[in-house]
Amino acid sequence: MPSPTTTRPRPLSPNVQIYRPQLTSVLSILNRITGVLLSVSAVFLVVWLVAAARGPQTYAPVQEAIASWIGRIALFGATFAFFLHLCGGIRHLVWDTVHGFELRTIYISGWSVVAASVVLTVAAWIASASMGG
């Protein structure tokens, strides 16, 4: 007779796939995803600095890569990831002071994070273009 407690694979919490995505949960996971993406971007920051330190010959191909279409798309993505993580991070720091936990406030701050990230990303690229980038 099989024991009822033996090895039948049970779903482990948090089985997120059964939940409908909400602003709160989407922003929560996006904060992690953008954080990991920015850590990867930090590798390229160091590559860029090391290339600059080695001289114009080494810097030129890096500059070319940044100016290429793939480079620009990656940089645009990194800019948006940066502002989303920055705004999301500030929202988390406010939460750490035990403020803003009412459902209404959480949705206001959540949409503010989305709006601010979009506006700041577009503003940064317009400013960069006006500087001759």
Partner 1 sequence: MDPQNMQNMRSPLARAIGLGSAKEGVASWWAQRVSAVALVPLTLWFAASIIANSGSDYATFIVWLRTPLTAILMILLLIALFYHSALGPQVVIEDYVHSATKFAAVIAVRLGCSALLTAGVVAVLRITLSVERSDAHTQNPATRLAQRIHPRRIERVLVHSDDERAGRQCGVR
Q: Which residues bind partner 1 (CB under 8 A)?
A: 32, 35-36, 38-39, 42-43, 45-46, 49-50, 52-53, 55-56, 59-60, 63, 79, 82, 86, 89-90, 92-93, 96, 124, 127-129, 131-133
Q: Min. distance of Cβ 4 from partner 1 in angstroms?
A: 17
Q: Min. distance of Cβ 2 from partner 1 in angstroms?
A: 20
Work out the number of other CB atoms within 10 angstroms of the CB of residue 81. 21
CB nearer partner 1, residue 38 or residue 114: 38
CB nearer partner 1, residue 51 or residue 110: 51
**3-state secondary structure (DSSP) of residue 114:** helix
- Transcribe 27-93 into DSSP letters: HHHHHHHHHHHHHHHHHHHHHHHHHHHH-HHHHHHHHHHHHSHHHHHHHHHHHHHHHHHHHHHHHHH
Q: Min. distance of Cβ 10 from partner 1 in angstroms?
A: 14
d(CA 60, CA 51): 9
62: its two tokens = 């890096």
d(CA 49, CA 31): 26
d(CA 44, CA 27): 25
CB nearer partner 1, residue 53 or residue 70: 53
CB nearer partner 1, residue 53 or residue 103: 53
Q: Min. distance of Cβ 105 from partner 1 in angstroms?
A: 20
CB nearer partner 1, residue 60 or residue 108: 60
